[in-house]
Amino acid sequence: MNPISAKREDVFVIKDDTSVLGPYKATVTSGSIILWDHMADVEKGDIVSRKLPNGKTEKLFITKSTFYNGLTLTPAHYQLEYSNSPPETKSSSASHTINIHGAQAVQIGDFNTQNVINSIQSVISQIDASDASQQEKSEAKSRLLSFIEHPLVVGLLGAAATAAFAASLS
């Protein structure tokens, strides 16, 4: 199909911040869109939306955006490659299978959380082993507990780590 003589339809570009730009004149073919407005704001990750003849709205997920300067017979335009389904997002949580046989002492950390837990438990042990008075030890542990229970620290370490520290401070 000659894209210059192909049917042009109105499409809209939906940005990451949900703003909607357009309408722009475009030619939609299988796997690509030619956006005929050289001033359009469109990039990989955007969504192109168009009305279908049955009244439904189709969303096309942009996987590549290339701008072409005009030639003698072809005006400046964007050529967009798209997918009909949204890109997969990588999961932030990892799943691990761990099999242990015949072990007496096993310690498994969650990224750096285990190191932080060990460090704070070491501080607690050192407080308990110090020559300070019982009142000073209690005050030091109380201040450590306040630090551990702060919302920012809970957010960084996780509620499970905070609960473990709080239990060991009591």
For 56-71, write each residue's pLDDT tens digit.
999 999 999 999 998 8
- pTM of the model as a whole: 0.51
Taking CA atoms, 29 is separated from 8, 62, 70, 82, 98, in Å, by: 11, 13, 20, 10, 49
Beta strand residue intervals within 39-95, DSSP E = 47-51, 57-68, 77-83
- Which pLDDT band, with edges at 50, 70 and 90, does 160 fall under? low
Question: In this predicted structure, which of 31-35, 96-100, 125-129, 141-145 has the lowest mean pLDDT?
Answer: 96-100
User: 42-58, pLDDT tens digit by residue?
Assistant: 999 999 999 999 999 99
Contact residues for 35 (Cβ-Cβ < 8 A; gap 6+): 11, 24, 25, 26, 42, 48, 77, 78, 79, 80
Give domain limits for the chain: 9-83, 113-169
* Residue pair 61/84 in contact by the 8 Å Cβ criterion: yes
**Residue 73 binned pLDDT confidence (cut-offs 50, 70, 90):** confident
The three-state secondary structure class of 129 is: helix
What is the overall mean pLDDT for the chain?
80
Is a pLDDT exceeding 60 seen at residue 128?
yes
pLDDT, position 161: 59
